[in-house]
Structure 1
Amino acid sequence: MTVTLLLEPLPADARIDDLASTFREVPADAPALRVGELSTQRGDGVFETISVTDGHAQETGPHLDRLRNSAVICELPEPNLAQWRAAIAAAVALLPARGEFALKLVLSRGVEHGPAPTAWLHAAPAADFARVREQGISVVTLDRGYAHDAAAKAPWLLLGAKTLSYATNMAALREARRRGADDTIFVSSDGFVMEGPTSSVILRHGEVYSTPAPSGAILHGTTQMSLFDHLAETGRTTEYRDVRVEELSTADAVWLVSSVRLAAGVTELDGAVFPYDADETRAFNDYLLTPRD
């Protein structure tokens, strides 16, 4: 089952009592976007993907905050978060009460020379990630092609925004598979760990869990933030810092975490067998499957 809602984007400060009147459902077999839509022609827009688990949209607040931040970076009209929250609730209400779904939010610049941006959300069944959650993944490191401080020097690269321009990320995943791996970890040209194409990186050294500091070149992961909150609440030590590439091979365990796949432990790194903590990975995913706002 899929659900698509088209929004008439409201100004960020607009207050309307009947928010449901500002979006509408589009049947699966009906046209939804115009040919001139810049999201499809140029990738000129931003997005978020929210996991819906057993009727609950996970981390809605952090995802909407990041959508707004991406819009600001890309000089798009700031989204009305109350409208988006209402649309998310409406979409979730149309989905089955059990199961996992991926809910994608998109804010585009619209049709070229058009009067307004385009906005929609689309929900579809999530892929079955049971195997990778339980058995882990193999990864390779790939050079991202810029230094870890590139965002400060070249803000026009929009590195801190979750944009629709995902061709490079998808190409990196294809390259990983050509090398016999499931996924990749991007590293900067000056030797620092960054993130996965669709995930955040978490390392464990002893009793300390670390993740690359969320600079303008690294997207601050909503799932990673939630998991760090959980670790801190249960007495574990977490830290944000610059992580050198060579620290990957010295870690006791490494995970790639994301909104829909959740936590996937690394079992192989650049062709070498890597220590995999099945028990902790299972505990991470047990937590990540619980309702989280």
Structure 2
Amino acid sequence: MSTPTLFFVDDLAEGVPATPTRFHQADPAAGQINVMDLSVTRGDGIFETAGFQHGHPMALEAHLRRFANSARILDLPAPRLEVWRDAILAAVAAHEPEPMLSAKFIMTRGVEGTGLPIGWVYVFGGDEHAVERRDGIAVVTLDRGYRHDVAKTSPWLLQGAKTLSYAVNKSVLREAARRGADDVIFISSDGFVLEGPTSSVIVRHGDTFATPATDQGILAGTTQASAFAWLEQQGHTTEYREVRPEELVDADGLWLLSSTRCAAPVRELDGRQMPIDRETTDAMNAALLTRTA
């Protein structure tokens, strides 16, 4: 197992006092975070995970834009994206070469009362999702507990931001395991398909591929956007819209997508066997694994 690399981002956000360095490397095995940091005590912060295939970034710019949007939603200082970009690339370059690397970058609100956020980039190797892309996954649908318009009615719930508060995301995966499944698709309390705890949903009917629109309190999917761009290049129709659960059941293809997993076909939904569109799945993953936008 390779050794991960860790870089702290010093000049990380607007309004933060100037520092002599933009970023610096640190020892990932040593203690680095103050126990009073709000990421530790409250899960108060944001993060992204970008994939690197043979050293090439996969949709890094989209991850950076989403990172900035999450900061805006949480009222965090605006991250200096040019510094974060350089820090990420430096951390990847410092890691020993591997076919697949993941760069997780995090910004927290810092120690309570200081008003000084902190941030770092953590790069690690390995592709743990190859089997899922090949064999598919079993999925259950679970009630998210919110209406699909919660982002409009209750923006203080921070829907649509990628935050460090992942207790619920992990809890639902444990519930899926108790039901003999691998993953989850959230359904809103008023009956609309949303997203997975760490993924976006794409559903196919004929030549049309649809994903739930992001105005429903869900995270804008970077990998899903790359998949739609590729599907459109192949002449397919793509749609961002409201999706009902019954559309999943009679789909010609169903996928969960995320940055390092790419497109995992759903082979089973709530105990029902689902068709796997092998040709589209393989071609889509081939495109996603080589994307650099």
1:94: how far off?
1.0
Contact 1:9–1:119, Cα closer than 8 Å, also in 2: no
1:12-31 to structure 2, matched below 5 A, reads: 12=14, 21-31=21-31
Size of the alignment, in residue pairs? 290
TM-score between the two structures when normalised by the length of structure 1 = 0.95
Q: Which residue of 2 aligns with 1:252?
A: 252
- Aligned-residue CA RMSD in angstroms? 1.6
Query: How far apart are the structure 2 equivalents of 1:52 and 1:161?
Result: 23
Q: Which residue of 1 aligns with 2:89?
A: 89
Note closer, same or farther for the CA distance 1:13–1:206 as it changes in structure 2 (3 Å cut).
Answer: farther
Q: Which residue of 2 aligns with 1:287?
A: 287
Q: Which residue of 1 aligns with 2:183?
A: 183
Q: SS state of the match for residue 48, structure 2?
A: strand
> What are the Cα deviations for residues 7-55 of structure 1, in whole angstroms up to 9, with x where unaligned?
11444499x9xx9931111112222111111111101001101011111
TM-score between the two structures when normalised by the length of structure 2 = 0.95
Q: SS state of the match for residue 228, structure 1?
A: helix
1:141 correspondence with 2:126: no
The AA in structure 2 aligned to 1:171 is S
Q: Which moved more, 1:217-226 or 1:118-127?
A: 118-127
Note closer, same or farther for the CA distance 1:145–1:78 as it changes in structure 2 (3 Å cut).
Answer: same
1:85-164 to structure 2, matched below 5 A, reads: 85-164=85-164
Contact 1:9–1:118, Cα closer than 8 Å, also in 2: no
1:205: how far off?
0.2
Query: How far apart are the structure 1 equivalents of 2:197 and 2:58?
Result: 21
Contact 1:56–1:92, Cα closer than 8 Å, also in 2: no
The AA in structure 2 aligned to 1:165 is S
> What are the Cα deviations for residues 222-267 of structure 1, in whole angstroms up to 9, with x where unaligned?
0000110111122111010000111111111100000001110000
Q: Which moved more, 1:75-84 or 1:231-240?
A: 231-240
Note closer, same or farther for the CA distance 1:279–1:13 as it changes in structure 2 (3 Å cut).
Answer: farther
* Structure 1 unaligned regions, length at least 5: none
Contact 2:139–2:176, Cα closer than 8 Å, also in 1: yes
Query: How far apart are the structure 2 equivalents of 1:71 and 1:125?
Result: 27
Query: How far apart are the structure 2 equivalents of 1:82 and 1:113?
Result: 27
Query: How far apart are the structure 1 equivalents of 2:291 and 2:12?
Result: 28
Query: How far apart are the structure 2 equivalents of 1:169 and 1:10?
Result: 27
Q: Which moved more, 1:277-286 or 1:222-231?
A: 277-286
Contact 1:76–1:109, Cα closer than 8 Å, also in 2: yes
Q: SS state of the match for residue 110, structure 2?
A: coil
* Structure 2 unaligned regions, length at least 5: none
Q: SS state of the match for residue 246, structure 1?
A: helix
Contact 2:55–2:92, Cα closer than 8 Å, also in 1: yes
The AA in structure 2 aligned to 1:35 is V
1:242 correspondence with 2:242: yes
Note closer, same or farther for the CA distance 1:192–1:20 as it changes in structure 2 (3 Å cut).
Answer: farther
Contact 2:10–2:21, Cα closer than 8 Å, also in 1: no
Query: How far apart are the structure 1 equivalents of 2:175 and 2:11?
Result: 37
The AA in structure 1 aligned to 2:240 is Y
The AA in structure 1 aligned to 2:89 is A
Query: How far apart are the structure 2 equivalents of 1:205 and 1:152?
Result: 29
Q: SS state of the match for residue 214, structure 2?
A: coil
Contact 2:98–2:125, Cα closer than 8 Å, also in 1: no
Contact 1:9–1:117, Cα closer than 8 Å, also in 2: no
Q: SS state of the match for residue 215, structure 1?
A: helix
Query: How far apart are the structure 1 equivalents of 2:111 and 2:15?
Result: 23
> What are the Cα deviations for residues 159-209 of structure 1, in whole angstroms up to 9, with x where unaligned?
011111111011011100100001010000000000000000000000000
> What are the Cα deviations for residues 77-136 of structure 1, in whole angstroms up to 9, with x where unaligned?
000000001101101111233321221110100011124101111011234211111010
1:167-246 to structure 2, matched below 5 A, reads: 167-215=167-215, 217-246=217-246
